[in-house]
Structure 1
Amino acid sequence: MTTDGESDARYPAHWESDIVAADGRTVHVRPIRPDDATAIRRLHGRCSPETIYYRFFTPLPELSDAMLQHFVVVDYVDRMAFVAESGDELIAVARYDRLAGSSDAEVAFLVDDAHQGRGLGAALLELLAAYARQHGIGRFVAETLPDNVRMLKVFQDAGYRVARTWADGTVHVVFPIDPTPSSAAVMAERERRAAARSVAALVNPTRVALVGASRTPGSVGDVLLANLLSARFEGSLWVVNPNAAAVRGIPTVPSLRAIGQPIDLAIVAVRAEELPLVLEDAHAAEVRALVVVTAGFSDIGPEGAEEERRLVASARRLGMRVVGPNSMGVASPAIGLAGTLAPFALEAGGTSVHAQSGPLSLAIVAKLAQASIGIASFVSSGNKADISGNDLLAWWETDERTRCIVLYIEDFGNPRTFARVARRVSATKPILVVKPEREGRSRVEPDRPGVLDTEVAIDALLERTGVLRTQTLEELTELVRLLESQPLPAGDRVAILANTQGPAPLVADAVLRAGLDLAPLEPATVERLGTLGRAAARNPLELGPGVVPADWERALELLLLDATVDAVIISFIPTVVGAPGDPRLLANPLPGGTLRGAPAQSLARAAEIADAVTKVATQRGRDRPKPVVANFLALPGVPERLGAGPRTIPSFDFPESAARALGHAARYARWRARANGTPLELVPLAGDWARDPLDESADEDRELDAEAVAGLLDWLGIPRRAPSGGRREELEGRAVHLRLELIHLERYGPFLRAGLAGDAFRRIGASVAVALPHTDRDVIDFLEAIPGADLVVGSGPYPSDDLVAIVHRLVTLAERRYDVAALTLEPVVGTARGWWARSGRCVVRPLRLEPAMITRSLRAPGSPSPA
């Protein structure tokens, strides 16, 4: 029997975590402790007779001391339990007990009646299974009563392959606890729903309170209240100030609990030392979420960071999510919520924005406002101590107001979660990030094993997820304008419609630099365009300065009807033609041959042409509308006319801007149209990799010796010896040599990299890196993208099933062993007989597995991002 002292010494504190329940509130979960006996007794006493009967199969009004001792004293290996806390009370417990001499363990749950229906059983099952896998347990078994529908549903809905048998009036349940595509999908969907509900209190509240409203003009509390009042919030707004009867003419309340109603969102602008008292008050008022504008936490140094950790930990234990500290606020213009420090009003629209940097977050929305881009919701996360971009993506994924998503983030939080969530969201809504490439950074040599350049990693992660990377706010704004107003192009072929010879070549060059092609135009289109009086109808199409708006209308219509055209760029520059007084003049002549500013007649003609192209582009849409963008050199009034129809045509000051935005849109369209493939299922591996355990006190990575690497490859099932006849084919020169690498970056997650090995690599000098594949199609695309892969002709079908199997096992390793920092297989030899890895190198890192790495638990407050 394990004693209390032994139990305390082995207590796995790093498995403490926070989860988001199905109702969006947070719950603290931790391993059970011997001193939980009193709280367990209270939990048992609060449960209904029915709940107790379902758990113990017999009426049990009270736990005996012996039973209580058995429940709370575990060895954290063969006997384990997690408890869920709400405030000072335990509200649920889940446990397993290994069956003697077996890798099976019996699992059982008890959830407080008042907290049933919050998804706690499912969340605890996921956590318990993850812990059990780390201790050699492969299956869970359970006995339950047939009418215990809730518990049976927890097992069935978990996504595991559950087998059920009936005997002696009970249901016997057995299921393997290794993750499956189904269980991963279930986990992800529960994570999405819970995160979305927690974010709803932030960006779609009905009851809001401002804590710290001030009578001092220009203070933070004053600016926040002024913005809230000017936006005319649709819900209920309370102002909390214990020292004033009214602020800005609004009656105040002394505290949150004095409101007497549950509060969705509390915006807090008080001194840092007052926040603990505000938390207690918020808990009493049943506040769901806090926006902490107060600075002076991790933004000022280590001491502030520790205060921030305690703040978030306390809030989560009380069931609340936190934005900030050091936040610039939140806004949802459509409902009149403007809880920000912005010195300008935000108009409602379809773009949602999350920015980590406070001042820059306001710069982003200001830039969007200048471009007449409306905001669906805005969240400045400041120090990002709790709510992250991953949480917000879960809400925006199904938010009807959000059509486009903008992120400015300094890191990806949990990169595995980001990769999973962003890929799912990008399938239906574009996600844009502002992440400039760092200048002066040291690029890593491409052939250095086990090391991946940061910029290469970022690009690979964004490519995997379909996220569009922009370098500047200007580029971001251009792309948002296009994506907000135009359909995605079906391909890369662009037609250019211009009125003079001057700009057309510039536009064409810009199109090619953006990675697009000039549409060849169908012969029928060329023939019809000839009727407009053009001697040479081609792409770019130059109409000339003397054409009338009807010619523009007809030309654009023909280009949009052409099957070889995927998008159209319109370029218009006013020109000097005809006699003085001609309305097509750019400017009126003055004595001496000089010109003065554009006359009203020229602007009117430009507006007429804008009306003509708008009519065609928006009112004569086909089954698959094509994007149309314009370059009118920002003539006064023209952009407004381009937005007069049902669908705005974005006008750009420079042709390069139009082409660049169109290039981004085309790449995003290709990504969305790709074949998705089937989710990869981890390769079943027997036992665990037999090697010396890592020294968790070490602070450096270390390379394993050849014997340990051989054992790792054998455990993974990667062949190290040539198949029959394979070595002969290699010696005869009928083989291909590859380098395959798994590289696990702590900030950005796991990646695969591949290239030809040996002399072939030195000749080609290139490799391909991708974020960890999620589907079988991802694996095929990765192998087909290897530079020089066409040289494998003669070695059999490529990529062959056995090469795909090797990559599949590298993916399994990345998901099973987070302590593998890098594994390089070189050479991986391929012949018509098969593929094998002749040798390898492996670097491991000292790493303690935490719940946020392998479950839908939240990252521990103040902890670095788990990779």
Structure 2
Amino acid sequence: MAQGLYPEYWEADVVLRDGSTGHLRPISPDDADAVQAFHMRQSQNSIYLRFFTYKSSLSEKELKRFTEVDHVGRVAFVVTRGQDIIGIGRYDRLDNPDEAEVAFNVSDAYQGRGLGSILLEHLAAAARENGIRRFTAEVLPENRKMITVFAEAGYEVERRFDDGVVELNFNIDPTERSRAVMEAREHRAEARSMQTLLAPSSVAVIGASRSWGSVGYSLLEHIVDGGFTGPVAGVNPEAFELNGMVAYGSIAEVPGPVDLAVIAVPYDQVLAVVEECGRAGVKGLLVATAGFADDDGEGLSRQRALVHCARSYGMRVVGPASLGIINTDPAVRLNASMAPELPVPGGLGLFSQSAAIGVMLHAAAARRSLGLSSALSAGNRADVSGNDAMQYWEDDPRTRAVALYLESIGNPRKFSRIARRLSRMKPVIVAKSDVMGLQLPPGHAVRTTQAPAGALDAMLRQSGVIRVETNEQLMDVAQIVVGQPVPDGAGVAVFSNSLALGKVLADAARSQQLEVVRMDAHLELDGGQSVALPALEKALTEALEDPAVSSLILTLIPAVGLAPEAILPVLNRCGRAAGKAVVACFTGVLDPAAQLEGLRSGSGGGSDHEDATVPCFASPGAAVSALGAVVRYSRWRAGEHGVFAELEGIDEEAAAAQLAQVLSGVRDVGLRRLDSGQAGRLLGAYGISVLPSIPFDSIGEALEAAEALGWPVALKTVEENLRHRLDFGGVRLNIGDQSGLRAGIEAMRAELRPFGSPGLEIQAMAPPGQACVIRAIEDPLLGPVISFGLAGDAVNLLDDWAHGIPPLTTVDVADLVRTPRASRRLFGYQGLPPVDIPAIEDLLLRVALLKDRHPEIALLRFNPVLVSASGLAILSAEVSVGNPQQRTDSARRAMRD
């Protein structure tokens, strides 16, 4: 069989069930010897279960058949670890071109690590790409492991027993259940891989030094001084003793297994050390060495080689240029970082990228007594990312909230998926650079976005994360969600001992969408502690017992004889008794030694106690802003998130066939605009119809078109920027007869002559309604992006768009319609009747589904969509297609390059 082009984009690094990694790629004829070696390592039982007989070796004919495939009708993948093949999966198309037979073979040494399910996901994705919709497999009844792989994949599997063999058949189109199964497996595997890094049983520091102040010296010292609970080894070929311990000349000499290797060797030695770690069986790497971002293109190339080498041996990589990783769990006590002391234990999981930002965040957390559960600095983020960290923190019972500072993002769709799931259980706070996605920090090698401004922020809102602008705002929010229960409503009680300050605070609360339910700005606190504190406790308790109050802010100016430390226990008792959030703000304090920001103890002691749970601020504005952000998050978490609607009238296969026909033989990256017939058939497969229009050259052709469409008609120019502009003479409406059409054509041609005399068309008249615009693109970074706005000056001059990143739930689409500032016109405005909102939401759901399933659609534009009180009409549709760039998130598990 003729061999097709090698599909390099099918290659992927994958995370196995045990958290280690493997490399998956299409098979090639060069793999013949490796396939034979794989076969001969297998047990007799495994060979029998695969081939229904025992073969001591594979014949040359069999090897040729297994390794020479066309990557279309016959596809095979191998998963490798180092130079060895550890798993093989393949499909062969049957006589029915929609069906293929699938088979797997997993190394005895790697069974039980999820290789079968990974191979099935990638084979199904390749098969769908090649027009195959069903898999069949023949399995011996005793091969329960393989039967389980198919049964637990999330597909509807049909079983039939015939002649001693179990025959399985199933449709391989992704379903909600199969996607959920894939995501659950991905979550478990990636969380496990992070556990190896964040909770290792043993650590080795390679490049550990006796020179005080060096990176290697500091890392080893901090691990030892932090009280790491497992064995620690220092590796340096030039030292006999390090930090009071025996030094080893290489990682291979370290006795016992090493879970985490911390690499702090010179830049030009890193790759060799990674290779040594792989051969020694190390499970994970922390690369503190910098320099990769400073070496122009060569640095990125070496960085990729580092990651490729590590993953080929099953290792994950933090860094390079990482500040380190921290785990305050008493069972671990890992301080593999440049921080001189292990932070205070607490509930915040902290992720940062650059070392400089990491230092700032660690310092801010320490200054505020904000305890950490664990922290990770990704440095250049060549491998381990914020997505991986969130997978770990989702299951970590010690982590109550997650904070991430992001400078770049490699897989936004996956981020959105994980963050949306995590945010339903734990607050996720994200601070990001304003240019994130538009330009890359040094050392980061990911795609940049071409999406409209605001699309990335829209993705974050969809995900339910608490978006902040700065590190300080991140810490402001973190100390509330870590120290206090998340409010279950917007009702807030405001207390102060200053009427002016209380009013300012109340106004600020309302601007943050908080509802001031109770307010007392006349607190009398100058009578001494014995009088003031009981009165304060009574007032706060009464307010917090009000069901309408979900949180309380106390802001005070200095009171004679009453220190803030004396007030904190009162706040703590009242808040805990009510189970509601309390926030304190002490302003106007002149003592430079006073510590008035951060989590403070409610026991009346210092700020380093375990009960340091009262969030304190020096700025009332910062306190209200942070509380407002938390309440908005609470509203999102408690609200309806919608469902991924099952829409009627969808024929995905017909749309795929139409796109395949249009793109047949196209290899370039240019776009091809569909004609009206092609666009109509494609959109029709998703239940979307466009009001018919007919272009013409002569008046006779125009009259025939009008008769075919039915009077009255609209006369339009085909020029995109003029076809809907009454003010420029680009459209004439409600033409009811032949004489009116003749006159209209002559007048329009005269008016459009200054614009180059563009062509004209006749279109059926639509019911009057509000004009809207829908646009969808395929972005290199974000994937599909859907934009919605009201047509005209609102979107053209004011950029009044709403954006969404599919897949979109029914709630996401409802928000999309209501987000533009001009959307009030859709719901009845200045006496106009409200339009058919369900109709526009249904159209947006169909567009989102179409764009999500078919990345070949590079651009889709409906302008205008006329929405009336009872339906809508699409007057113009533009569809351009092209060879799709491979999305960063799909129905197969793959690690980012």
RMSD: 3.0
Q: Structure 2: how far apart are the matches of 1:159 and 1:507?
A: 53
Structure 2 CA distance for partners of 1:235 and 1:695, relative to 1, 3 Å: farther
2:877 is aligned, of 830, 840, 844, to 840
1:756 is aligned, of 770, 785, 790, to 790
Q: Structure 2: how far apart are the matches of 1:850 and 1:465?
A: 19
Give 1:376 shift. Answer: 1.3
Give 1:247 shift. Answer: 1.5
1:40 is aligned, of 32, 35, 38, to 35
Name the structure 2 match of 1:672.
637
Residue type at the aligned position of 1:788: S
Give 1:122 shift. Answer: 0.2
Is residue 741 of structure 1 aligned with residue 775 of structure 2? yes
Is residue 375 of structure 1 aligned with residue 376 of structure 2? no
2:652 is aligned, of 673, 682, 685, to 685
**Mapping 1:545-694, distance limit 5 Å:** 545=526, 548-575=532-559, 584=560, 601-603=561-563, 606-618=564-576, 620-621=577-578, 625-633=579-587, 636=594, 643-644=602-603, 648-680=613-645, 683-687=650-654, 688=656, 689-690=658-659, 691-693=661-663
Structure 2 CA distance for partners of 1:323 and 1:824, relative to 1, 3 Å: same
Give 1:566 shift. Answer: 2.0
1:813 is aligned, of 843, 850, 866, to 850
Q: Indicate conservation of the 8 Å contact 2:262/2:285, yes or no.
A: yes
Q: Indicate conservation of the 8 Å contact 2:420/2:462, yes or no.
A: yes
Structure 2 CA distance for partners of 1:830 and 1:726, relative to 1, 3 Å: farther
**Mapping 1:694-705, distance limit 5 Å:** 698=668, 704-705=674-675
Q: Structure 2: how far apart are the matches of 1:148 and 1:138?
A: 25
- Decide which moves more: 746-755 or 121-130: 746-755
Q: How many residues align?
A: 798
2:295 is aligned, of 286, 294, 300, to 300
**Mapping 1:314-393, distance limit 5 Å:** 314-334=309-329, 335-393=332-390
**Mapping 1:440-455, distance limit 5 Å:** 452-454=451-453
Name the structure 2 match of 1:502.
500
Q: Structure 1: how far apart are the matches of 2:710 and 2:817?
A: 24
Q: Structure 2: how far apart are the matches of 1:208 and 1:642?
A: 35
Residue type at the aligned position of 1:510: A
SS at match of 1:313: helix
- Decide which moves more: 96-105 or 500-509: 500-509
1:489 is aligned, of 470, 487, 490, to 487
SS at match of 1:571: strand
Name the structure 2 match of 1:865.
none
Structure 2: segments with no counterpart, 5+ residues: 440-448, 605-610, 694-708, 714-733, 735-763
Give 1:697 shift. Answer: 6.3
Q: Structure 2: how far apart are the matches of 1:459 and 1:214?
A: 44
SS at match of 1:779: helix
**Mapping 1:78-93, distance limit 5 Å:** 78-93=73-88
Q: Indicate conservation of the 8 Å contact 2:287/2:317, yes or no.
A: yes
SS at match of 2:617: coil
Is residue 251 of structure 1 aligned with residue 246 of structure 2? yes
Q: Which has the higher contact order (CA 8 A, sep 6+)?
A: 1
Structure 2 CA distance for partners of 1:276 and 1:655, relative to 1, 3 Å: closer
Structure 2 CA distance for partners of 1:80 and 1:325, relative to 1, 3 Å: same
Name the structure 2 match of 1:150.
145
Give 1:647 shift. Answer: 6.9
Q: Structure 1: how far apart are the matches of 2:64 and 2:646?
A: 40
Give 1:701 shift. Answer: 5.5
Is residue 791 of structure 1 aligned with residue 761 of structure 2? no
Q: Indicate conservation of the 8 Å contact 1:497/1:543, yes or no.
A: no
Structure 2 CA distance for partners of 1:437 and 1:694, relative to 1, 3 Å: farther
Structure 2 CA distance for partners of 1:196 and 1:763, relative to 1, 3 Å: closer
Q: Structure 1: how far apart are the matches of 2:284 and 2:435?
A: 35
Structure 1: segments with no counterpart, 5+ residues: 443-449, 522-537, 576-583, 585-600, 861-867
Once the two structures are superposed, residues 451-492 of structure 1 have per-residue CA deviations (whole angstroms, 9 ceiling, x without a partner) of 8533x1222111111111111222111111111111111222
Q: Structure 2: how far apart are the matches of 1:21 and 1:127?
A: 14
2:859 is aligned, of 815, 822, 828, to 822
Give 1:797 shift. Answer: 8.2
Q: Structure 2: how far apart are the matches of 1:539 and 1:66?
A: 88
Give 1:698 shift. Answer: 4.5
Q: Structure 1: how far apart are the matches of 2:39 and 2:566?
A: 78
SS at match of 1:433: strand
Q: Indicate conservation of the 8 Å contact 1:734/1:795, yes or no.
A: no
SS at match of 2:408: coil
Q: Structure 2: how far apart are the matches of 1:206 and 1:462?
A: 36
Give 1:751 shift. Answer: 2.5
Q: Indicate conservation of the 8 Å contact 2:179/2:891, yes or no.
A: no
Name the structure 2 match of 1:137.
132
SS at match of 2:219: helix
Q: Indicate conservation of the 8 Å contact 2:491/2:514, yes or no.
A: yes
Once the two structures are superposed, residues 478-521 of structure 1 have per-residue CA deviations (whole angstroms, 9 ceiling, x without a partner) of 111111111111222221111122311221222123232221x5
Residue type at the aligned position of 2:626: A
Structure 2 CA distance for partners of 1:134 and 1:23, relative to 1, 3 Å: same
SS at match of 1:19: strand
Q: Indicate conservation of the 8 Å contact 1:499/1:543, yes or no.
A: yes
Structure 2 CA distance for partners of 1:362 and 1:725, relative to 1, 3 Å: farther
Structure 2 CA distance for partners of 1:609 and 1:336, relative to 1, 3 Å: closer
SS at match of 1:319: coil
Name the structure 1 match of 2:187.
192
Residue type at the aligned position of 2:680: A
Is residue 709 of structure 1 aligned with residue 679 of structure 2? yes
Once the two structures are superposed, residues 41-97 of structure 1 have per-residue CA deviations (whole angstroms, 9 ceiling, x without a partner) of 121222222222222222333322222211111111101100111111111111111
Q: Structure 2: how far apart are the matches of 1:332 and 1:765?
A: 45
Structure 2 CA distance for partners of 1:47 and 1:637, relative to 1, 3 Å: closer
Give 1:722 shift. Answer: 8.0
Is residue 230 of structure 1 aligned with residue 225 of structure 2? yes
- Decide which moves more: 126-135 or 161-170: 161-170
Give 1:428 shift. Answer: 0.8
Q: Indicate conservation of the 8 Å contact 1:241/1:255, yes or no.
A: yes
TM-score scaled to structure 1, two decimals?
0.86
Name the structure 1 match of 2:689.
719
Residue type at the aligned position of 2:586: F
**Mapping 1:43-192, distance limit 5 Å:** 43-192=38-187
Give 1:847 shift. Answer: 3.6
Give 1:227 shift. Answer: 1.3
SS at match of 1:718: coil
- Decide which moves more: 69-78 or 733-742: 733-742
Name the structure 2 match of 1:581.
none
SS at match of 1:557: helix
Once the two structures are superposed, residues 363-386 of structure 1 have per-residue CA deviations (whole angstroms, 9 ceiling, x without a partner) of 111111110011211111111111
Q: Structure 2: how far apart are the matches of 1:249 and 1:165?
A: 67
Once the two structures are superposed, residues 202-256 of structure 1 have per-residue CA deviations (whole angstroms, 9 ceiling, x without a partner) of 1111110000101122111111112112211111111111211102222111222
Structure 2 CA distance for partners of 1:552 and 1:727, relative to 1, 3 Å: farther
Name the structure 1 match of 2:216.
221
Q: Indicate conservation of the 8 Å contact 2:285/2:318, yes or no.
A: yes
SS at match of 1:224: helix
TM-score scaled to structure 2, two decimals?
0.83
Name the structure 2 match of 1:288.
283
Is residue 419 of structure 1 aligned with residue 416 of structure 2? yes
